Structure 1
């Protein structure tokens, strides 16, 4: 966690017993699960993953339905760097970052997420992974130019901070849902739809900071058990709207659903 900075004064943080402390005396306790919480304000309701969302995510990802996406992210990262720090912005349980670190034995990882419950899992997802609770919309407690690659998988995009923490020549890998992602499940539950202008909004968020190198669409058909349908819906933003999920309780047959994402690589603009 040498790249972390004090979220109060921006000084370097160093380990001291079971905490991280800066030269000015600000200290942050390390949780027994291995992560550190650098926030000093409450997280707005409906922002962080809940315990139920984390449990759903762990169960669904363990089934391997998104494993091909994780492998493609790891392949992209391996093309971009062989070592250095990989920062996963919105890392959740650390599933994607752990795959990248498996591919890059000389790299280390930093998972950032607003959910402490998710980072309990992330901190244990890989031996070379550190985890810190933080709100991605605020300036990050990470030193300038310390990352070789930033990952952003189904998570908020903060272009200025992506740019600041990346070293010159660093790169960004973004995974975002495409129109039609999980569309078949709309007949089962009132899903939040993917914005038709999502790609346009991504480019607007990154414009001036990054240039697109490549974008790979990835689509496949999933066959999901009733429990897996409940998990994939319950691990995402729809879970913050429980009134949308009542029909899931009655689901008793497998369903097909389309996994449709774009995996894009961007180069940092100097």
Structure 2
């Protein structure tokens, strides 16, 4: 049985409220009659219209991310995100409990850690159906949606207390719209030096210059910064971990799989890798000025 949504959802076709119907809450329907049936794996596909221009993560990219995160390498990052998000969830005054959107939820690992620390009504959104298959199993109590973050989000105004975005696109206007007064946007980005020991040889994409300045500019007019912290992890990765690390990121869309496997086969038993993260917290401007 799927959870009955307690986060107010909107129909991606007409923007009317959606409610659960049918057996075991496996259908979402709006007053205009638009309905969405859950996939067998437990997620709903909200991609409608002409589709998206963005390329969703392929099955092998998602599998690589699942294996890497399941090994616990980024567990301290997941715990740090949950710690930063917890105060806004604890202070929720939506009238129906704390609510969170994990935008770009991927395999659901980061949301899982947050929900283990602070149970909340949750929505996981990602453009990859392969990711959502994993996320729906990881977080069965959440509503898991295939959707495009650059389209109007299928949530009502002021629907959530926290939006988390871990290495995913950021739709500033929509995030501000769906956050309640006092809500928080938590964003994770890489810092210079992130994965520098292996990024070049594996073909991973480099860190954009002035990454923090670009983040601030992208959110300008919608959010004001509240806090930020750096997190550094010194990892010891086996060859399979290094290959998964390369394949699970955006470069995975273009990497030569055979060449990556050959490279991994020639690596030492353990490779020292530095992971460098920035966790930034923002408040919507329309609430900050109230």
Partner in structure 1 of residue 64 of structure 2: 56
Q: d(CA) in 2 for partners of 1:175 and 1:199?
A: 10
Partner in structure 1 of residue 101 of structure 2: 87
Retained in 1: the 8 A contact 2:243–2:260? Answer: no
Aligned with residue 112 of structure 1, among 125, 140, 145: 125
Measure how far apart 1:37 and its partner are. Answer: 0.4
| CA 1:238–1:244: 2 relative to 1, 3 Å | farther
Q: d(CA) in 1 for partners of 2:260 and 2:79?
A: 33
Backbone CA RMSD of aligned residues: 1.5
Measure how far apart 1:164 and its partner are. Answer: 0.3
Partner in structure 2 of residue 9 of structure 1: 14
Q: Which moved more, 1:239-248 or 1:117-126?
A: 239-248
Q: d(CA) in 2 for partners of 1:199 and 1:108?
A: 30
Partner in structure 1 of residue 212 of structure 2: 199
Q: Which moved more, 1:73-82 or 1:236-245?
A: 236-245
Measure how far apart 1:225 and its partner are. Answer: 0.3
Gaps of 5+ in 1: none
Residue 258 (str. 1) matches residue 277 (str. 2): no
Gaps of 5+ in 2: 91-96
Q: Which moved more, 1:76-85 or 1:224-233?
A: 76-85
Question: What is the TM-score normalised by the length of structure 1?
Answer: 0.95
**Secondary structure in structure 1 of the residue aligned to 2:98:** strand
| Equivalences for residues 139-178 of structure 1 within 5 A | 139-178=152-191
Q: d(CA) in 1 for partners of 2:180 and 2:80?
A: 23
Q: d(CA) in 2 for partners of 1:80 and 1:122?
A: 23
- CA offsets per residue over residues 59-82 of structure 1, 9 Å max, x none? 000111100000000111112222
Aligned with residue 124 of structure 1, among 130, 134, 137: 137
Partner in structure 2 of residue 42 of structure 1: 51
Retained in 2: the 8 A contact 1:182–1:260? Answer: yes
Residue 19 (str. 1) matches residue 27 (str. 2): yes
Q: d(CA) in 2 for partners of 1:170 and 1:250?
A: 45
**Secondary structure in structure 2 of the residue aligned to 1:212:** strand
Aligned residues: 268
